[in-house]
Structure 1
Amino acid sequence: MLHDTIAAISTALGEAAISVVRVSGPQALSIAAQVLKLPSLVLPRKAHLVPVADADGGVLDHGLLLYFKGPASYTGEDVIEFHGHGGVLATQRVLERWLACGARAAEPGEFTQRAFLNGKMDLTQAEAVMDLIHAQSTLALRAANEQLGGAIGREAAAMEQAIIPVLAHIEAYIDFPEEDISPETGAALLRRLDAVLVRAQKLIATSEQGRILRHGARTVISGAPNVGKSSLLNVLLGFERAIVSPTAGTTRDTIEEIIQVHGIPLRLVDTAGLREAGDEIERVGIQRTERELERADLVIEVVDASLAATPPRLALPPELARRRILILNKSDLGIHPDWSSIPQAIPLSCVSGDGIEAVRDAIRDVIAIAGPLAADHPIAINARHKAAFERCAAHLTAAKAALERSEAPEFIALEIRDALHALGDVIGQVDVERILDVIFSTFCIGK
């Protein structure tokens, strides 16, 4: 497939000022000579104003031709980009002309897949391209840019470089079986393995941060009916998303929206009020609320601060209880003395907006504790990276145990090689074929 020349529309479908048709492959320039009325000399990285000719010599569009000669291009191959007018029909006709002249329609993610296969980026950088496109917050954008710059790949490569000398020492003892590993050498090798294990564990700890940055912290707004849950959702969103009514039980189903708070993406879920159900519809809504609470990363419990506290309040498992924020809503009506003894409760008036900044700060602080979302640790691995680093850590732990027990060096070397293979999976150096289709199938056409 790398010998094919591929083409696709690289901009979003719909009307716009411009559209981009991208072509990559060994025949990109020769096919361009059939599609475009080229100047006598096409200079790389220079814009040329050219018309697109149809099969009869008529003009389909006028636009800018950009030629990137391989390997100095995104894919490492010859790349042509045609920047034309952004009409849906005109762009489609231009693409069809490229395909009619010998290019093949690109598969999803094929441009980036070629960049990876041609050594322009490692696998973590290729994945970062999609993270960058899908980023919904400033922290997610920063993490994607760090990964695109090779941060995770550099960490994996540094761990590899630390492990390889250990493997070399062990294999030297395999070649000379009459020699035992001396205590001093064994201690030095153990220190090296320990140092790599620490790095692996630090990276594994960022997987929760990566999940939150990529998908958002699932934040459930819960409480009794008519305490202001929907009002809080609307205030946080900045527009009227949920219906607000003094009638209890207005919200029957969950409402979900995505917002950004201090750079952290949140999936806000407004839920039905928790109480004894009055009818079947309300019962189903309350069941959905309970399911959402089981999946939550953060719970915002809202109470009516103007009324006396009525036990029991929201019951949560211990691991989720520390990620709960208590909001004393309707503080503009006065706060009942029952609430004065509850620490860290946040007074709020959804009517005036007083206290909303304190709510945002509390959300940031709780997510940071649960995440953690450390500003000085921009690396945030995804689930695939986590699995690979966990395998690496498991094999290194087994190698350490075997070394401490003075087992045969063949067994120690086997565990270390498996650890290296796990690191190779991170950046795509080992057993690549089995994961490529899964990764690149999530890309959009034209990228």
Structure 2
Amino acid sequence: MAAVATAGGTGAVALIRLSGPEAAEIVARACDCRADWTDRRAVLRTVRDEGGAVIDQVLVTLFFAPRSYTGDTVAEIATHGGRLVTRKVLARLLECGARSAKPGEFTERAFLNGKLDLTQAEAVMDLISAQSDLALRAAHEQLEGRIGEKTEKLRQELIDTVANLEAWIDFPEEDIDPETGEALRRRISAVRAEMGSLLSTADQGRILREGLRTVICGRPNAGKSSLMNQLLGSERAIVSGTEGTTRDTIEEMLVIAGVPLRMVDTAGLREAGDEIEEEGIRRTIKEAERADLLIVVVDATLPAAGAMPARLPEVARRIVVQNKCDLGEHPDWAAMDGVRVSCLDGSGLEELRGKIRDLADLGEADWGEHSVAINARHRDRLMRADEALQRADASLAANAEPEITALDLREAMDYLGEIAGRIDTEEILGSIFSRFCIGK
């Protein structure tokens, strides 16, 4: 399998990756040379078309199996950058016997050959898409196998428990001393506590990977679009003194104090003047209901009763931003908690950025021992495993048949095994690797 491993466009160098048992021979045919490669040594070669015409001079490096990323023999071909030359070199490799790689196929081969577990394979994509230092750190920790190690340790705990329980079930005459019900329940409780610790990182993991969904809302002309532009550092949203200028949601990604934000600017909340504005307001309410963080922008020069928008949903993370503080503040706001800013001169924005970081709960001090954060797939498997352990615990408490307890424990083991790919299915693999880019 072969694919261009670098992003499209013009550059000094592009990289084409080839993996498989015939990789060395295919590159030799494309370069019209002998396949006497030295492992991990870059050599200058010329790729030629079928008629012998030069396509490009390239650097070829061979990584022989099993000491390669995929575990198969891998050839990395550094060509001159540019769409045409890389396309022609790749086409020549395909003519010489290679086939086009599917998205994520190189990493999938690494997993199937035991080079990576499934959590490490997922970390490769997290590393590529990381948008903040914390996201990068979490991806590196996961790439080192931290989540796989934790879940495998829990699975081994359950394996030992099931082995002891089933030995007693199968060989009652052998005088095997089974753990008492209370001792088994203590072991199950300890495993569930560790799983709960991992599950507590799910929200952090989602924020690191997708961004904290931050919705800016408020009444018309409060300064919502101006605040978004100030935070972005560019004129992304249209700013106008005319009420109702913003009629649809505007979404942008940015990083504030190390926290990735998916920032959404919305239409002003008021009684709609027409059908289009009513639709914009409906979308604002919908976005606010989905928000991780709600930033309510108010005009601090107006009385609180007239400045605060109605119809806002309850959101756990919420900041009231009192804008236009440079123009003077109405007495109503003196005793009210909020962040005072001026979108005209930028005052108060640093305080707002700090408040956002604090509410995101992703600071170094809050990260604690969790240098990794689980994703949605890990969360689903952990929750299913926890449900199975709850049933096992209940059957022990009720003095049910030990076979029932053993079945529930085995089900929990299987779910834990799926996290790192100890127990895998085609459906899981297809879902994970379909999200990768071609060439990785």
> TM-score per shorter chain, which class?
over 0.9
Q: Distance in 1 between matches of 2:301 and 2:175?
A: 76
Letter in 2 for 1:337: P
Give 2:396's match in structure 1, choosing from 403, 420, 431.
403
Distance 1:43 1:310, change over 3 A: same
Q: Distance in 1 between matches of 2:188 and 2:244?
A: 58
- Would the aligned equivalents of 1:367 and 1:373 in 2 still touch at CA under 8 Å? no
Superposed displacement of residue 184, structure 1: 6.4
Superposed displacement of residue 245, structure 1: 1.5
- Would the aligned equivalents of 2:11 and 2:82 in 1 still touch at CA under 8 Å? yes
Superposed displacement of residue 416, structure 1: 0.8
- Would the aligned equivalents of 2:24 and 2:35 in 1 still touch at CA under 8 Å? no
State the SS of the aligned residue for 2:305.
coil
Superposed displacement of residue 375, structure 1: 5.1
Give 1:142's match in structure 2, choosing from 116, 124, 137.
137
Q: Distance in 2 between matches of 1:291 and 1:273?
A: 13
Distance 1:220 1:281, change over 3 A: same
- Deviation string for 1:189-218 (max 9, x for gaps)? 222111110111111121111111111111
Gaps of 5+ in 2: none
Q: Distance in 2 between matches of 1:140 and 1:185?
A: 44
Name whichever of 80-89 and 391-400 sits farther off. 391-400
Q: Distance in 2 between matches of 1:294 and 1:304?
A: 22
Alignment-derived partner of residue 352 in structure 1: 345
Say if 2:223 is the partner of 1:228.
Answer: yes
State the SS of the aligned residue for 1:278.
coil
- Would the aligned equivalents of 1:301 and 1:314 in 2 still touch at CA under 8 Å? no
Alignment-derived partner of residue 28 in structure 1: 23
Alignment-derived partner of residue 3 in structure 1: none
Q: Distance in 1 between matches of 2:186 and 2:383?
A: 19
Q: Distance in 1 between matches of 2:47 and 2:59?
A: 10
Give 1:339's match in structure 2, choosing from 333, 343, 350.
333
Distance 1:291 1:217, change over 3 A: same
Alignment-derived partner of residue 186 in structure 2: 191
Q: Distance in 1 between matches of 2:138 and 2:72?
A: 28
- Would the aligned equivalents of 2:168 and 2:177 in 1 still touch at CA under 8 Å? no
Superposed displacement of residue 140, structure 1: 1.4
Corresponding residue pairs, total: 438
Superposed displacement of residue 128, structure 1: 1.0
Say if 2:324 is the partner of 1:330.
Answer: yes
- Deviation string for 1:238-288 (max 9, x for gaps)? 111111122222211111110111221111111111011112221221111
Gaps of 5+ in 1: 1-5
Alignment of 1:91-130 (within 5 A): 91-130=86-125
State the SS of the aligned residue for 2:367.
coil
- Would the aligned equivalents of 2:285 and 2:311 in 1 still touch at CA under 8 Å? no
Say if 2:2 is the partner of 1:7.
Answer: yes
Letter in 2 for 1:268: M
Superposed displacement of residue 431, structure 1: 3.4
Q: Distance in 2 between matches of 1:59 and 1:397?
A: 67
Give 1:207's match in structure 2, choosing from 202, 209, 230.
202
- Deviation string for 1:276-317 (max 9, x for gaps)? 111222122111111111111110001111122125644444
Root mean square deviation, CA, Å: 2.0
Superposed displacement of residue 41, structure 1: 4.1
Distance 1:349 1:33, change over 3 A: same
